[in-house]
């Protein structure tokens, strides 16, 4: 390698995952009255751009988080 960092090419968020993230955003905003808690256990989230995503309380147990962009995302915790 030349010592230069390789630029990560991020994948587009699949529509089914977009729907899960939107339902989770509503779940957090409504304190559980609307939407649904995200179950992303064992999900392949590698190389996704999740900037600004609401992930508080989402289950990310054993998820593949290699090279995920989280900048601006709400704190990531497994629930």
Q: What is the pLDDT of residue 42?
A: 97
Q: Do residues 75 and 55 make contact, with C-beta atoms less than 8 angstroms apart?
A: yes
Q: What is the reported pTM?
A: 0.81
Q: What is the pLDDT of residues 20-72, one digit of tens each?
A: 999 999 999 999 999 999 999 999 999 999 998 999 999 999 999 999 998 87
- Count Cβ neighbours within 10 Å for each residue of 43-61 and write b for 16 or more, e otherwise: bebeebbbeebbbbbbbbe
Q: Do residues 30 and 37 make contact, with C-beta atoms less than 8 angstroms apart?
A: no
């Amino acid at each position: 390698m030349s010592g230069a960092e390789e630029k990560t090419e991020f994948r587009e968020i699949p529509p089914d995952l977009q729907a899960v993230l939107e339902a989770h955003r509503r779940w957090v905003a409504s304190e559980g009255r609307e939407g649904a808690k995200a179950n992303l256990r064992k999900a392949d989230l590698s190389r996704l751009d999740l900037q600004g995503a609401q992930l508080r309380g989402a289950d990310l147990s054993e998820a593949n988080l290699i090279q995920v962009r989280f900048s601006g995302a709400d704190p990531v915790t497994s629930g």
